[in-house]
Amino acid sequence: MSPAGPVRELRAEHLRYEAGGRLILEDVSLTAPAGRALAVSGPSGSGKTTLLLLLAGLDRPAGGRVLLDGTAMEDGTARHACAMMLQSLGLVPILTAVENLAVPLQARRLARADIEERCARWLEALGLGSLGEKMTQELSGGQRQRLALARALALDAPVLLADEPTAELDAASRSLVVDLLVREARRGRIVVVATHDEEVGAACDDHLRLVEGRMGR
Ligand SMILES: Nc1ncnc2c1ncn2[C@@H]1O[C@H](COP(=O)(O)OP(=O)(O)OP(=O)(O)O)[C@@H](O)[C@H]1O
Ligand SMILES: [Mg+2]
């Protein structure tokens, strides 16, 4: 089954975000079409994570708007179309790797067989096939990072937002993740990746650079 569904385009228009009395993002606009991967780069603190959270509908801009095929992100349907891998990972430590994958799928009331199939498929795809029964504390930093990405991918959402998915990975795992992100875009997803990693940037189709919360060159 294609994850693309009817979603064709994620668009941000003139986003502005303020926090702690400071302007964090100003006048950031982008278009991310299905089938392509967009890399968001920029120095630490330039606003990459903030931008992804707004694109995912997990936070609201002070100005501007995020649209999915013309529907505002505040709409529950549009938000449901996005899956995000957080920079902080957000894994649940008292659960095993496979349970971490299963929880959001159970929350969506998918059939048990479907959940089992997705968990097995995405653990395998991220090179974690033998680690499903491990507690997350027993995993290395890179394994945890791949598990968080697997969890986002398993939702099969039309929009995949990944925040620094290769920060802790060795060369082999990095290539695996880069290939996977590009492949998922080619399958019809909208892929947006915040990254410092030049290999990720080079593999992506489109690029947006943030400098102090503004679009740089
Ligand atoms: N809730 C908040 N309150 C105050 N400041 C915030 C808040 N969220 C983000 N910031 C600030 O906004 C700026 C951008 O942060 P953000 O996490 O988006 O950067 P980033 O580009 O993802 O950085 P990194 O590469 O280190 O992950 C930083 O200066 C950060 O301190
Ligand atoms: Mg960040």
Residues 72, 115: Cα–Cα separation, whole Å: 29
The reply to whether 3 falls in a domain is no
Distance 44 CA to ligand 1 centre (A): 8
Q: Is residue 46 part of a domain?
A: yes
- Total domains, the chain: 1
Ligand 1, atom 24: nearest CA belongs to which residue? Answer: 44
Q: CA 189 to CA 33: how far, in whole Å?
A: 8
| Residues 209 and 56: beta-carbon distance below 8 Å | no
Confidence (pLDDT) at 77:
76
Ligand 2: centre distance to CA 134 (Å): 27
Decide whether any atom of ligand 1 lies within 6 Å of the 24 Cβ. yes
Indicate whether residue 143 lines ligand 1 (CB < 6 A): no
Task: Name the residue type at position 172.
Answer: A
Any ligand 1 atom below 6 A from CB of 195: no
- Residue 1 belongs to some domain of the structure: no
* Rounded-to-integer distance, Cα 16 and Cα 14, Å: 6
Exposure of 2 by Cβ count < 10 A (0-12 exposed, 13-18 middle, 19+ buried)?
exposed
Query: In this structure, which residue's CA is closest to atom 16 in ligand 1?
Result: 47
Residue 3 has pLDDT above 70, yes or no: no
Determine the pLDDT at residue 2: 39
Q: Whose CA is nearest to atom 6 of ligand 1?
A: 19
**C-alpha 146 – ligand 2 centre gap (Å):** 17
Which CATH number belongs to the domain containing residue 60 in this structure?
3.40.50.300
Question: In whole angstroms, what is the distance from residue 115 CA to residue 191 CA?
Answer: 23
Ligand of minimum distance to the alpha carbon of 47? 1
Structural domain includes residue 181: yes
- Supply the pLDDT for residue 80: 84
Secondary structure element (H or E) that encloses residue 63, with its range:
strand 63-68
Q: Residue 148 contacts by C-beta under 8 Å, 6 or more apart in sequence?
A: 85, 86, 89, 90, 91, 165
pLDDT in tens, 174-192: 999 999 999 999 999 999 9
Whether 171 maps to a domain, the answer reads yes
How much is the CA Rg of the chain, to the nearest whole Å? 17
In this predicted structure, what is the pLDDT of residue 76?
75
pLDDT of residue 5: 55
User: Each residue of 133-174: pLDDT tens digit?
Assistant: 999 999 999 999 999 999 999 999 999 999 999 998 999 999
Q: Which of 88, 72, 62, 58 is nearest to 10 (CA)?
A: 72
Question: Look-up: residue for tokens 């693309």?
Answer: 4
* d(CA 53, ligand 1 centre) in Å: 11
Q: Report which protein residue has its CA nearest ligand 1's atom 13.
A: 45
Burial code of 17-45, b = ≥16 C-beta within 10 A, e = fewer? Answer: beeeeeebbbebebebebebbbbbbbeee
In a domain, 2, yes or no: no
Q: Residue 172: left (phi > 0), alpha (psi -120 to 50), or beta?
A: alpha
Q: Is residue 116 part of a domain?
A: yes
Q: pLDDT by residue (tens digit) across 48-99?
A: 999 999 999 999 999 999 999 989 887 777 778 999 999 999 999 999 999 9
Average pLDDT over residues 91-110: 96
Q: How many CA atoms lie within 13 Å of 212's alpha carbon, on the beta-carbon side?
A: 1
* Range of the structural domain that residue 112 is part of: 9-215
Any atom of ligand 1 within 6 Å of the Cβ of 50: yes
